[in-house]
Structure 1
Amino acid sequence: MPRTDAPSKIYIEQVDYIRAIASVSVALFHLGGKVLPGLKFGWLGVQMFFLLSGFIICWSIPNNYDWSMARTFILKRITRIEPPFIISVILLLAVQYILVPNYKPDWINVLFHFAYLNSFFNQPYLNPVYWTLGVEFQFYLLIAVIFPLINKKFGFLILIAISIIPLFVNIPALGLINVFPGFAIGICLFLIRVNSLTLKYSLTLLILIVLTFLIEGPLQTSATLIAFLILILPIKSNSFIRFFSKISFSLYLTHDIIGSTFVVHVGSLLPKTFLWKAFEFSSGCIISVLFAYLFYLMIEKPFFLLSKKIKYR
């Protein structure tokens, strides 16, 4: 996620820790952690990303944002996110064509990916991590509309009102509303950071945490609270963490396409012993990180820089 255009808002180092921890957790889960103690909970990194998005997207929006800037905001996000995503889809199809005999994708389903329509039509994504990008895109559309309102005197009620909807309305599983409480906690943390902690925001946080527990469950709530704590703790910058933060989006997009494919196909050729399994897993991790770094340099970084050139008025 790009740093803010607003000079009054500093870059928050704790953000790097959430990006790094969340992306690595998800990658380890898909590379073989599903059957390993501890790592089998790696999918909860997604929940950490949701809270982070709620916070950092609001933090990156200019203080004087109004609805006339919505088009610029969406254009910046699409420029930042969409090209690496689409290229990863093309990469996935290429890998499938090479490795799977007579591979025939559902082209309607593939086209749905280009506008995240899978989420709206409850259709499966080609990659298990893509559904979260569909949710993120829905969040961008929503925040572009409600951001001028949430910092108003009664703006906190908007967060509660949206978060409580799943308790009364059955929403398709891939929709933003089902996971919005996590985003809302991040937004609330943003409001506290720019306005200071008040009784109003303290009660809002408590309500949103309870709603996260009721709607999503205890594990998701725990992951959300871990991300929350990381954001408020006085953690210093770390070069190792900053590296994984930098490649986090690329790692998130490509680890299952490259690393998991490597683990599955190499594993089918090697003995099923503990040492060989450890070799498959560790090799898959190394290959995933190296490929993600190359993907970042060649694909993600150029579009990140391009998105920075798109300025609000």
Structure 2
Amino acid sequence: MIRAYYIAILLTIALFKILSYIPSFNGSAIAFVPGQFIAHILYVIPFTKYPFYMHVFWTLCVEFQFYLLIGVIYFLSDSPLYKFIFLVLFSLSSLIPFSNSYYLVLNYAAIFALGISLVTLYKNRNWQNIMLPVFFLILIAFKFGIPIFILLLLCSIAVFYFTLIIKPLAFLGDISYSLYLTHTLTLIVFSGISKRLHIDLSHYKLFWLIIEVLVAALFAYIFYLLIEKPSLRLSKHIFYKKTKGSLLQTRLNLK
């Protein structure tokens, strides 16, 4: 997955460089600044003076913060009480008015906590585990408003009761990360080509929207096949080798 992100960064830089040679292109080439590039690689762009290559990358920075926080603190203890207290405190941190909070995981803590609590509830359905998702949904309604609350409530219900596999949705799920990484680039190119061909996208908006979505999905699928899927296989292979090695070492130690 990380490899796919790196490729997306390089594609973004290369694409803007190519587009800068086209007279009708309104933007400019992205200058390669080592500090900016490294900040993207390390997911720390929000904490630097550099702008994002593509603003959609900001969510990956938040996600990376989440993995660090959960990896370091949440799994310190297997005690249900510890995890309960952690999730409550973590979710309440979303109410703290941090500066630059838009790019901080704590701003979205209630949403992340809801996801974790749903996994716990799915594994063990008792009244105690029901309390947390309800609390987090109330907190989300207060923090983000009723529309987000309704959306996440419906998603929460779907997690438990919607077991039907719909192939088009499953396909979109498979390519969702690639679509996330590439959709903005695809739309930029699509818009540029339409201007070059003097196509007015303001007419028949629904038609052109469908075309844009299909083109974005097609490119995402190609990216998924060529970049994301091989990177997933590679990461699984590395993980398997590490796991196999650690198991072998454990057996040797036991002997």
Identify the residue that residue 16 of structure 2 maps to in structure 1. Answer: 96
Distance 2:131 2:49 in 1: 34
Shift of 1:213: 2.1
From 83, 86, 107, the counterpart of 2:3: 83
CA-to-aligned-CA distance 1:75-128 (integer Å, 9 cap, x gap): xxxxxx211011011111111111124624362333311111113337542223
Give the distance between the partners of 1:218 and 1:171, measured in 2 at CA.
24
**Larger Cα Rg: Structure 1 or Structure 2?**
2
Q: Offset of 1:171 from its aligned partner?
A: 4.6
* Contact 2:65/2:105 (<8 A) preserved: yes
Q: 1:219 to 1:272 in 2, by over 3 A?
A: same
Per-residue deviation at 1:212?
Answer: 1.5
Identify the match of residue 130 of structure 1 among 44, 54, 57. Answer: 57
Give the alignment's Cα RMSD to 1 decimal. 2.3
Matches within 5 A, 1:189-200: 189-198=118-127, 200=128
User: Paired residue for 1:223, among 151, 154, 164?
Assistant: 151
| Counterpart Cα distance in 2 of 1:151 and 1:234 | 30
1:279 deviates by 4.5
What TM-score results when the alignment is normalised by the length of structure 1? 0.67
Ranges in structure 2 where 5+ consecutive residues have no aligned partner? 22-27, 247-255
CA drift at 1:292: 0.8
Q: What is the CA–CA distance in structure 2 between the aligned matches of 1:92 and 1:296, rounded to whole Å?
A: 16
1: distance between equivalents of 2:116 and 2:49?
Answer: 27
Alignment check: 8 A CA contact 2:201 2:208 kept: no
| Helix, strand or coil at the partner of 2:55 | coil
Deviation readout 1:219-238 (Å, 9 max, x if unpaired): 33222222212211132112
What pairs up with 1:50-129 in 2 under 5 angstroms?
Answer: 81-101=1-21, 103-105=29-31, 107=33, 108-121=35-48, 123-129=50-56
Distance 1:262 1:153, change over 3 A: same
Q: 1:272 to 1:183 in 2, by over 3 A?
A: closer
Q: 1:4-83 alignment to 2 at 5 Å?
A: 81-83=1-3
Once the two structures are superposed, residues 219-260 of structure 1 have per-residue CA deviations (whole angstroms, 9 ceiling, x without a partner) of: 332222222122111321122222111111111110111134
**How far 1:300 sits from its partner (Å)?**
0.2
Specify which of 128, 145, 148 is matched with residue 72 of structure 2: 145
**What letter is aligned with 1:211?**
L
Using the alignment, how far apart are the partners of 2:36 and 2:67 within structure 1? 22
Tell me which stretches of 4 or more aligned residues in structure 1 moved more than 4 Å.
none
Identity %: 28
Find the aligned partners of 2:217 and 2:161 in 1 and give their Cα distance. Answer: 27
Greater relative contact order (Cα 8 A, min sep 6): structure 1 or 2? 1
**In the TM superposition, what whole-angstrom CA distance separates every residue of 1:161-211 from its partner, at most 9, and x where no partner exists?**
01112323425220100011111111001111222222x222222221122
| Count of residues paired in the alignment | 231
Q: By how many angstroms is 1:153 displaced?
A: 2.8
Return closer, same or farther for 1:106/1:216 CA change in 2, 3 Å cut-off: farther
Q: Does 1:170 align with 2:90?
A: no
Structure 1 unaligned blocks of 5 or more:
1-80
Distance 1:214 1:109, change over 3 A: farther
**Quick one: which of 215, 218, 228 aligns to 1:287?**
215
